[in-house]
Amino acid sequence: MSKFPSLTGQQVITALKRAGFEVLRVKGSHHFLSHSDGRRTVVPVHRGDAIGPGLMYKILRDCELERDAFLELLK
């Protein structure tokens, strides 16, 4: 498996919005996203900081998205 690209929280949120997620609320630097079918996740948005690979895979598990499908949303 190849390395996951370095992404900021805002880039992840933009890709998830393309997948049908919407931001429900923001508490501090944490954005809570939800999909109409009930999937939910939390994405931290810290200026200048990338999301680590472990957290990125956790977000993808929460969203029930495959890695390749998510990478397509980034384009």
Domains of the chain: 7-73 (3.30.920.30)
The pTM of this model reads 0.91
List, in order, residues 6 or more apart from 7 with CB less than 8 Å away: 50, 51, 56, 74
pLDDT given for residue 48 in this prediction: 84
Could you tell me if 51 and 30 are in contact, meaning their C-beta atoms sit under 8 angstroms apart?
no
pLDDT given for residue 1 in this prediction: 53
pLDDT given for residue 7 in this prediction: 95
Largest Cα–Cα distance in the chain?
34
Average of pLDDT values for 47-52? 92
Residue 43 has pLDDT above 70, yes or no: yes
